[in-house]
A and B are shown apart, each in its own frame.
Chain A
Amino acid sequence: MRHDISALVLRELEAGTIERGAAVRLLKQLSQKTPIAIVGMGAIARDTDDYRAVWRRYRAGESFIGRASQQRGDLIRSALPAPLVGAPEQMAKGNFLDDIDTFDHDLFGYSADEARNLSPHARLALMAAFRAVEDAGLGAEGDAAHTTGVFVGNNFVRDQIFSYINMALRQGGDPEELLFGNWTSGIATRISRAFDFRGPSQVIDGACASSTIAIVNACNQLHEGSIDAAITGGLYLDMTPITTFNQPGVFATATEDAVPKLYGRDNVGGFGGEYLGFVALKTLERATADGDRIHGVVHGWSESNAGANGGFDQTSPDSAAAAVRDALKASRTDVHDLGLVFAEGFAQPIEEALETDGIAKGIASLTDRRQFAAITTASPAMGYMQSAIGVAQLQLMVQALGDEVIPPTLYFDSPTELVDLVDSPFYVPAQPQDWPPPESGERRGLLYSNAYGGFYLTLVVGPAPTAAVPSTAESADATLLMVVTGSSVEGLRTKLAADLEIVRDADPRRVAELCYSSAVRRPAQVEHRVVVVADDVAALVDGLVTALETADHDGSRSGAGWRLWSGHGRSTMTTRTSPTGDLGTHEAAERFCRGEHVRFGHLFAPVQRRFAPLSPHPFQRTRAWAMPELRLDQIGEDQ
């Protein structure tokens, strides 16, 4: 609620200058949230930096849990006492990334030395944020006239014993470089620096709810109009994925032999899960005006804290229920439209029961119906992603809404005895299944997070509005100018080949949007560059084929109905130069390929200015690790 405006309404009511009915209507409106569009998503997860691949595996019921790779042990072995990281079975079970020691430092404007001293959290967060920015088309001119804020959820507790800086210092690393490179509070500002974002940059530590708090903060600032766009999410990395620090049976970590059975009668705990995820947000109104591709819409959110009632709890059912009720009201959601609830997924049976009871109470206070909404959590399949769980589950929820699929809760076979699920609003989906449409209204999902101490957050999410398809007449006279960039010749080739496939497979009416997106909403200032200008789609394909065949040649070439320029500049993402003024098509293409910073936006008709995603920029990842890598078979020689 805008408290300043609501206070004003109340003062005017007291003064008698506004009627009671009008005041009530205004106050009701003020308590409702501005719909927030999710216009981009990015993730780095086990084996992939594609959030769609994560969803495909998750909805199919695949497990991400396994023992951390020997590679992860090799990365930290030199900094830890030998008995802690020895045999493969000392690597912890969970959902751990393999590749945390590489980075595309050139792209983000860091030297190789700087990259080594930068924490893996910051490096991977930059790459995950890049994917979200790219997916939203906020690069280049896509962020023009926006005040974009960055809100990152991160929890430092896990790293207090053996952090990257601690381990690197033991290996004789430079204290000053490591100190500043590892200050996690700076991650948000590093992201703002990379993309030239001009809004607030905040890192938020709210324990398990960190990324959800970051998302809610971004939604609040968008709702209040203090920013135009936001990149928000969070991360969770475990620098020591070894059994010593993932002690079986301690906290919520399962025994080595356990299988996580959330909502089950044999819930014996869960495993940890690493994840980095970001979403790009704008108000729905702004996103529609900007021609963005919308993945889903956050219709409302709420926060409640147990401390207000004198409590300091991990889970208070009453406070959780209040958060659920408030979010449903703020989003004007008919409770019967709820089809899926993603809960926190902390695998401690009592904790889980209190949480489920709280969410159920919140929903049951609005309806007598039973078992109409699925309740699930990503934890059994993806591990407990701690400070990143909110953003990870938001990304899964949005894709579940898009595909109209309820994903499965792995390993569920029989319900817990601590909550009567059959007599609750919930059923636990054991198998992937269709998400049936509600009797009225549209599908809605609810995301719930809670933080250590008793802070509860809820988001209500709906599907994307149906996108308009341009008419044939609109697309007939469109400018067909396509820009392709890469960090290296090889990267350029990869991107050219992938974009060529996208153009070939596209609805011809959409090709103009692809061209606009490639030129105006691409990652800014990448080194190797190609521009193809064509009379029609067939000529554009011919030009792109020639560009692919001659990717390592600078200069200009032409054919029937197309012309292309290729070249390179020396700029990186963080290079700041003022763009050249509005140029004609050919001059803009030529000067861009000579390395100049030029604008393309004015070359596209308003009807073309709709974002359509192209292939992801291929990262050129090289090793960035401040400690010597030590293989198990080298222990005898080196330690």
Chain B
Amino acid sequence: MDVGPGDAEARLLRRAPGRDVPVGSWDSATDRLRVRDHLNRHPFYNPRYLVERTLGELASTRRTPRTADDHARVTELARSLRTVLRRTDLPTSVVRADTEQVSALIGDAVSTWIENGRSKGHSPAEIVASIAALEDETLLPLRRSLGLDTDRLEITERNRPRHAS
């Protein structure tokens, strides 16, 4: 975690080839409000933020003309996420949280993220890169903790969440 001022160190570290460790930054050299945004939103180690951010990914990515099934799938994914977000027991920190619940939330969020990318015609490399950026944004080691097979974009059987709902 680069605590600043600025985010020069984080930018350098993020360029490391084959990096699979999240690199966060509190500050930004070009944005005086970024620290305040972090203080307000608490994005780090926050499963609820991860789910909100996944819904944000659905809302912030362009759909390319694909099949009607793909379109229906994106709409269905958004509906499921909204249902999850209506729950009042969503943990906002991994500290003292139910490990299984957190694991299930992370698994669902990442699966949804991947499915959204696939439905919108994103390449596997683009999806993996966006998940890496999400790790930096949340400091959650998503790929490693889920044993995500980034070649096939599948969460392995060993780590598949047990309460995916």
Tell me the B49-71 residues at the A interface (CB within 8 Å). Answer: 49, 52-53, 55-56, 58-63, 65, 71
Task: Write 25 A-B pairs (CB below 8 A) sorted by A numbering.
Answer: A61-B31, A62-B31, A63-B30, A259-B37, A259-B40, A266-B41, A370-B71, A413-B49, A413-B52, A413-B56, A414-B53, A415-B56, A415-B59, A417-B82, A421-B59, A422-B58, A422-B59, A423-B75, A427-B60, A427-B62, A428-B60, A429-B60, A430-B56, A430-B60, A439-B65
Closest A residue to B130 by beta carbon equals A431
Q: How far is the CA of A372 from the CA of B56 in the complex (A)?
A: 16
Closest A residue to B31 by beta carbon equals A63
Q: Chain A binding site: helix, strand, loop or mixed by DSSP?
A: loop
Seed contacts A63-B34, A259-B37, A429-B60; 17 additional CB < 8 Å A-B pairs: A63-B30, A63-B32, A66-B32, A258-B36, A259-B33, A263-B59, A370-B74, A370-B75, A412-B56, A413-B41, A413-B43, A415-B56, A417-B82, A422-B59, A423-B78, A427-B60, A427-B63
> Which of chain B's residues have a CB closer than 8 A to the CB of A365?
none
Closest A residue to B133 by beta carbon equals A431
Question: Which residue in B30, B43, B56, B65 is a CB contact (below 8 Å) of A62?
Answer: B30
Q: How far is the CA of A253 from the CA of B41 in the complex (A)?
A: 19
CB distance from B115 to the nearest CB of A (A): 13
Q: How far is the CA of A65 from the CA of B31 in the complex (A)?
A: 8
A418-435 vs B, CB cutoff 8 Å, 1 = contact: the mask equals: 001111000111100000
The reply to whether the CB of A19 lies closer than 8 angstroms to some CB of chain B is no
Interface size bracket, B side: 20 to 34
A-contacting residues of B (Cβ < 8 Å)? Answer: 30-34, 36-37, 39-41, 43, 49, 52-53, 55-56, 58-63, 65, 71, 74-75, 78, 82
> Which of chain B's residues have a CB closer than 8 A to the CB of A66?
32
Q: How far is the CA of A263 from the CA of B60 in the complex (A)?
A: 10
Question: Which residue in A60, A410, A428 is a CB contact (below 8 Å) of B59?
Answer: A428
Verify A259–B63 contact, CB threshold 8 A. no
Interface size bracket, A side: 35 or more
Q: How far is the CA of A374 from the CA of B65 in the complex (A)?
A: 15
Verify B61–A266 contact, CB threshold 8 A. no
CB distance from A327 to the nearest CB of B (A): 22
Closest A residue to B37 by beta carbon equals A259
Closest A residue to B55 by beta carbon equals A414
The reply to whether the CB of A369 lies closer than 8 angstroms to some CB of chain B is yes
Q: Chain B binding site: helix, strand, loop or mixed by DSSP?
A: helix
Q: How far is the CA of A60 from the CA of B28 in the complex (A)?
A: 12
With A259-B37, A370-B71 known as contacts, the answer to whether A410 contacts B63 (CB < 8 A) is no
Q: How far is the CA of A103 from the CA of B119 in the complex (A)?
A: 56
- Chain A to chain B: the 5 pairs with minimum beta-carbon distance, closest first: A414-B52, A415-B59, A371-B63, A414-B56, A422-B78
> Which of chain A's residues have a CB closer than 8 A to the CB of B60?
412, 427-430
> Which of chain A's residues have a CB closer than 8 A to the CB of B74?
370-371, 422
Verify B30–A61 contact, CB threshold 8 A. yes
Closest B residue to A374 by beta carbon equals B62
Q: How far is the CA of A410 from the CA of B37 in the complex (A)?
A: 11
Q: How far is the CA of A65 from the CA of B36 in the complex (A)?
A: 12
CB distance from B4 to the nearest CB of A (A): 15
Closest A residue to B75 by beta carbon equals A423
User: B56, B58, B60: which has the most chain A beta carbons within 10 Å?
Assistant: B60
> Which of chain A's residues have a CB closer than 8 A to the CB of B37?
259, 411
Question: Which residue in A60, A258, A369, A414 is a CB contact (below 8 Å) of B65?
Answer: A369
Closest A residue to B54 by beta carbon equals A414
User: B34, B61, B75: which has the most chain A beta carbons within 10 Å?
Assistant: B61
> Which of chain B's residues have a CB closer than 8 A to the CB of A257?
36, 39-40
> Which of chain A's residues have a CB closer than 8 A to the CB of B41?
266, 413
CB distance from B17 to the nearest CB of A (A): 22
Q: How far is the CA of A7 from the CA of B52 in the complex (A)?
A: 56
CB distance from A324 to the nearest CB of B (A): 19
Tell me the A143-195 residues at the B interface (CB within 8 Å). Answer: none
Question: Which residue in B32, B39, B40, B61 is a CB contact (below 8 Å) of A371?
Answer: B61
Q: How far is the CA of A413 from the CA of B49 in the complex (A)?
A: 9
> Which of chain B's residues have a CB closer than 8 A to the CB of A412?
56, 60
> Which of chain B's residues have a CB closer than 8 A to the CB of A422?
55, 58-59, 74-75, 78
Verify B53–A372 contact, CB threshold 8 A. no
CB distance from A411 to the nearest CB of B (A): 6
> Which of chain B's residues have a CB closer than 8 A to the CB of A28?
none
The reply to whether the CB of A553 lies closer than 8 angstroms to some CB of chain B is no
Verify A265–B32 contact, CB threshold 8 A. no
